[in-house]
Amino acid sequence: MSNLKDIVATALDTLGAHQTGAALATSVDPAKAAAVRTLLERALSHVYAAHHQGAQQAAENRALATSGELRETLRMGVEANHSQAARLEDVFKAFSLSVVAVPDQAMAGIKADNQAANEAFASDPLALDLTLIESGQVAAHFYLAQYGAMRGYTQLLRNADAAALLEQTIKETQLVVVNFTRLAHKLIVSA
């Protein structure tokens, strides 16, 4: 077992060294810093719009849910999307960027798939609730991927405050995934 611990420790040390090296490179080379900043700005604009798209879809899904607990979870999802979008506004400000929403094609695809599934399972309450949960999980994993990338960019640009804001959303979203999984299991067992 100590061999596994050694491997993990070495991997973390290597990752930390690469992260530190990359941060140093961006602080020394203005072109590299500009490239990372451009990627961050693009991601912020897309994810900011995605939160508004996601809030709209969660509200639509809430109206379709047959489980009271799922309706409440989706209501909280609408609120979370709005508060996380507001938190992104603070990240925009941390980099002196204008708050811009660029419609996100990935979230549009998630929404379209969600709507198609809702139609396909409209006559089966359990299947409908489970597909609503699945769609919520897909959106949550999309956010986790995007936020992980943005957190990395903010770290490379040495903005710990912005990275902490993004980390807060990552932790909240991880809890959403756990809650959706728990709820899906509960619905299946009680069916």
Dump pLDDT digits (tens) for 100-145.
999 999 999 999 999 999 999 999 999 999 999 999 999 999 999 9
Confidence (pLDDT) at 3:
65
Dump pLDDT digits (tens) for 2-50.
566 666 556 556 555 455 555 555 566 899 999 999 999 999 999 999 9
Dump pLDDT digits (tens) for 147-179.
999 999 999 999 999 999 999 999 999 999 999
* Helix, coil or strand: residue 89: helix
Confidence (pLDDT) at 29:
87
Domains and CATH numbers, the chain: 30-190 (1.20.1260.10)
Per-residue b or e along 137-168, where b marks 16 or more CB atoms closer than 10 Å to that residue's CB: bbbbebbbebbeebbbbbbbbebeebbebbbe
Confidence (pLDDT) at 191:
72
Dump pLDDT digits (tens) for 59-87.
999 999 999 999 999 999 999 999 999 99
Confidence (pLDDT) at 37:
97
